[in-house]
Chain A
């Protein structure tokens, strides 16, 4: 049983999706229940996988799909591989999916009326795709899975209003360019190595000393460009803000924390496992320094763009752009601390973005206004929601004991170790800008507007008295928020353990 865990994580939501489609749109409650159960099972299995990997002293679990044996040292079939890093990310994906499904309960019926079954089917397929991306050990399979997640997310975003459809269209264009670049890079790798298994490619590259061959360099650049487009690395971020801000709220809350993060995971995986540190960080290529500077620009630009927004969700999406800069920069610093810091930030950023997006969605829903003045006096009106929001915000700013502080700690440590001071400065700058952004909100939430004349706004329930209409949301939405903010703190408090696991896994491949 245990050895089949990797594939079970994928199969359960896959069949869940099929069942949901068969149930049809007439039975939204059963659809909800089905996806809740399937994602629950999936996240429990992935938790067990984490435990299994730890119990086995970080031994990588390898699973051959269809049982194809290797031939002469090369993999023939598709292989799933789960080490502690993959297990952690898979757990994050399935668990966020599970919690988000709880949140979707009431939202799906109003926001995607009549398409509830499709929504649940797509979200489960998306989770299958994301888990597959994390676990697969086959470069081409990775492409297909990337496209599966992209296709489902295009459709999920397009379920929103008319702006969402347009944003989704732009996402299709950009996403296809990104995925195609990735595919091209894989093609070049295949020409040189004749295999698609990631470990085998690495082996062939090493055995034949192909590192400095032009095709490999071109392949690397193509793959990186493709992944950067997919993860919205500035200046390739154009598709992200609109897509996540206008998508149905329960789609945004799922995709914002996970999509870009999983792509960062893929990037780290490609850098460390496919090409290898000695290739990526060898001093012969100009890209090391260049990418760090690009990430500096991404961090600074993302923070400033976020500062310039008055729309809450837009602001959060630009913060994601800045956070992607953190992770890319950390991964490219060229030392294990930076890599592990970037990886730790995947987890912590997933937790805090999830927390903030749920809180923002709740507030936008209740107040009926997506601008910053939606927050007026909310500490009095919706104290529980604001507690959740505050935890996420403090983590974004990077104050202890939230996870944001520790990921910044590790990333800055990596930056200092590598002597990349511009990156350290950018991280600190971004913290300061985040502080301005969020304290601007806190101030309003605490005291409301200064001016006596309130701008007229349309409350969520326009019949009721505006003062009483803004109240706490049902528990089905608050509960996910508290789980998310709990995880922000938990990941922070557990940082030492997590970081040790990550470092161990990264050191194992480096030696």
Chain B
């Protein structure tokens, strides 16, 4: 079953090797972006090479050598990892295309630095996805925090720095304060074994109260998952350029957070073992609280990117909620939601960026009637919203469906109600934006003159968002792959 392979290494390495090339080509932007594209396609290609093997039930692994007694730095590719890698690497291509349009459209400074750190971040994301043990996971998690920091403070002004400080202090602070001691505790408790193998390593080795503390430390410590009360880095990180917000804060970084939580539930503990300890409900309630509160906050935000950020917090909490049901349907729902939300949310961010590039508008109240000038963008926005809300015929419907099933399996009627209410809230904060833009004309006060010159964003921005919106539709029709991979870890 477990097979040694170099492909995980190369998948991880390819974006890292792109960094020196990007730096060398800093004088020739076209070559530089070419290098990024090349790396992105190679990465996706290698993920696709691994995919059939994983679907056959194999597990690929690559080990660098032991770094601490009993703990190697190790890559181990399983269903969950490959799904996440697939999402991240395919969206990297689209985001690169989008970034080219966005960064050039706005004539941003330090584009080389931007692309270089972007590539490092992607490597770190793949590192997390393929991590074979807790330490490897932790190391790449930290590298991801550090390498995205320069992207967040890209503008270098006061607002960006404040955002960057919140960003780093939350992510680094929680991981050092909670994850590190919890990891060492596991290491000590499980007898120097913190490798993710068949069956979780902490299974049966820890008591109920200790288990709860460790579980809480991990779940809150991986603050990239945006669970309250450590969520505020995410809205603050919206000062970054939009491609960063799109890929990192809708896909890579936040998904790394929930991915880590999934790993904790399935690889460190075990859903059955957690059921025995009876500690899942605490996480359930934290997640439910986060869903409702973040949705309510999202309603009040006028800055489009901030509203999307709070929406992301809520959607991430769905994923954590699904896992915390400790049932296979819940976990399936969570795994599916990682992919569905990724495509949905990146569409919305791409649209937000496209609107900003084309019209310079950041606030929702200014966007009334914008559908006339930017119909494609707004229709894509509508599709993305519907997918996130979870309405058929879009991919989000599947994951929502399984989350409902998970809640019923766990006999959590209260959570069914939470899911219903939150879906209504999703509608309330997402749908008005495209609907107002498409079907209402702007109020007279704004004056039509200011909007008349606005056209659709550059093609490089437009193509990616159309692709991701279409993907949302395709996922509804062909959800098979997602199920398959999700089932690999739930059985």
Check whether chain A touches chain B (CB < 8 angstroms). Answer: yes
* B67 near A401: Cβ-Cβ < 8 Å: yes
Q: Chain A residues with Cβ under 8 A from B187's Cβ? A: 413
* Contacts A399-B146, A400-B139, A424-B181 given; does A495 touch B68 at CB 8 Å: yes
Q: Chain A residues with Cβ under 8 A from B185's Cβ? A: 416
* B184 near A416: Cβ-Cβ < 8 Å: yes
Cross-chain pair count, CB within 8 angstroms: 66
Residue-wise, chain A 414-431 has the 8 Å CB interface mask toward B (1 for contact) of: 001100000010001001
Number of A residues contacting the other chain (C-beta, 8 Å)?
28
Q: Chain A residues with Cβ under 8 A from B164's Cβ? A: 443
* A412 near B180: Cβ-Cβ < 8 Å: yes
In the complex, what distance in Å separates the CA atom of A400 from the CA atom of B176? Answer: 11
Residue B158 lies at the interface, judged by CB distance under 8 Å to chain A: yes
In the complex, what distance in Å separates the CA atom of A416 from the CA atom of B187? Answer: 10
Residue A435 lies at the interface, judged by CB distance under 8 Å to chain B: yes
Residue-wise, chain A 491-505 has the 8 Å CB interface mask toward B (1 for contact) of: 001011001100000
Nearest chain A CB to B253 CB, angstrom units: 17
Q: Chain B residues with Cβ under 8 A from A399's Cβ? A: 142, 146
Interface-lining segment among B36-44, B167-175, B275-283: B167-175
Q: Closest residue to B158 on the A side, CB-wise?
A: A450
In the complex, what distance in Å separates the CA atom of A147 from the CA atom of B68? Answer: 39
* B153 near A406: Cβ-Cβ < 8 Å: no
* B68 near A496: Cβ-Cβ < 8 Å: yes
* B181 near A499: Cβ-Cβ < 8 Å: no
Residue A6 lies at the interface, judged by CB distance under 8 Å to chain B: no
Residue-wise, chain B 6-42 has the 8 Å CB interface mask toward A (1 for contact) of: 0000000000000000000000000000000000000
Residue A398 lies at the interface, judged by CB distance under 8 Å to chain B: yes
Q: Which of A397, A447, A500 has the most CB of B within 10 A?
A: A447
Nearest chain A CB to B145 CB, angstrom units: 9
* B188 near A416: Cβ-Cβ < 8 Å: yes
Residue B56 lies at the interface, judged by CB distance under 8 Å to chain A: no
Interchain CB contact (< 8 A) of A416 among B139, B176, B181: B181
Interchain CB contact (< 8 A) of A435 among B139, B158, B176: B176
Residue-wise, chain B 160-200 has the 8 Å CB interface mask toward A (1 for contact) of: 01001100110011001100110011011000000000000
Residue B393 lies at the interface, judged by CB distance under 8 Å to chain A: no
In the complex, what distance in Å separates the CA atom of A431 from the CA atom of B173? Answer: 9
In the complex, what distance in Å separates the CA atom of A398 from the CA atom of B168? Answer: 15
In the complex, what distance in Å separates the CA atom of A249 from the CA atom of B288? Answer: 57
* A499 near B69: Cβ-Cβ < 8 Å: yes
Residue B446 lies at the interface, judged by CB distance under 8 Å to chain A: no
Residue A460 lies at the interface, judged by CB distance under 8 Å to chain B: no
Q: Which of B156, B165, B176, B187 has the most CB of A within 10 A?
A: B176
Interchain CB contact (< 8 A) of B173 among A406, A412, A435, A499: A435
Nearest chain B CB to A418 CB, angstrom units: 11
* A409 near B181: Cβ-Cβ < 8 Å: no
In the complex, what distance in Å separates the CA atom of A408 from the CA atom of B165? Answer: 24
In the complex, what distance in Å separates the CA atom of A450 from the CA atom of B161? Answer: 9
Q: Which of A397, A398, A416 has the most CB of B within 10 A?
A: A416
* B188 near A435: Cβ-Cβ < 8 Å: no
* Contacts A413-B184, A496-B69 given; does A432 touch B142 at CB 8 Å: no
Q: Which of B67, B153, B156, B165 has the most CB of A within 10 A?
A: B67
A15-39 interface (Cβ within 8 A of B): none
Interface of B: prevailing SS: helix
Q: Closest residue to B67 on the A side, CB-wise?
A: A496
* Contacts A412-B181, A412-B184, A416-B185 given; does A496 touch B161 at CB 8 Å: no
In the complex, what distance in Å separates the CA atom of A412 from the CA atom of B188? Answer: 10
Nearest chain A CB to B70 CB, angstrom units: 9
Residue B449 lies at the interface, judged by CB distance under 8 Å to chain A: no
In the complex, what distance in Å separates the CA atom of A503 from the CA atom of B177? Answer: 27
* B153 near A413: Cβ-Cβ < 8 Å: no
* Contacts A416-B184, A496-B69 given; does A432 touch B173 at CB 8 Å: yes
In the complex, what distance in Å separates the CA atom of A499 from the CA atom of B192? Answer: 15
* B176 near A495: Cβ-Cβ < 8 Å: no
Residue-wise, chain A 172-208 has the 8 Å CB interface mask toward B (1 for contact) of: 0000000000000000000000000000000000000
* Contacts A400-B139, A432-B176 given; does A417 touch B153 at CB 8 Å: no
Residue A436 lies at the interface, judged by CB distance under 8 Å to chain B: yes
* A409 near B161: Cβ-Cβ < 8 Å: no
Interchain CB contact (< 8 A) of B181 among A400, A406, A428, A436: A428
* B169 near A436: Cβ-Cβ < 8 Å: yes
* B66 near A496: Cβ-Cβ < 8 Å: yes
In the complex, what distance in Å separates the CA atom of A495 from the CA atom of B173? Answer: 24
Nearest chain B CB to A414 CB, angstrom units: 10
Please give me the 10 A-B residue pairs with the lowest Cβ-Cβ distance, nearest first: A447-B156, A400-B139, A412-B184, A431-B176, A416-B188, A428-B177, A413-B184, A450-B158, A416-B185, A435-B172
A selection of 24 A-B contacts at a CB cut-off of 8 Å is A400-B139, A401-B139, A412-B184, A413-B187, A413-B188, A416-B185, A417-B188, A424-B181, A428-B181, A432-B173, A432-B176, A435-B168, A435-B169, A439-B168, A443-B165, A446-B156, A447-B153, A447-B156, A450-B158, A495-B67, A496-B68, A496-B69, A499-B69, A500-B69
Interface residues of B (CB under 8 A from A): 66-69, 135, 138-139, 142, 146, 150, 153, 156-158, 161, 164-165, 168-169, 172-173, 176-177, 180-181, 184-185, 187-188
Interface residues of A (CB under 8 A from B): 397-401, 406, 408-409, 412-413, 416-417, 424, 428, 431-432, 435-436, 439, 443, 446-447, 450, 493, 495-496, 499-500
Q: A408-B180, A431-B176 are in contact. List 10 more A-B contacts (CB 8 A).
A: A399-B142, A409-B184, A416-B185, A424-B181, A435-B169, A443-B161, A450-B161, A495-B67, A496-B66, A496-B68
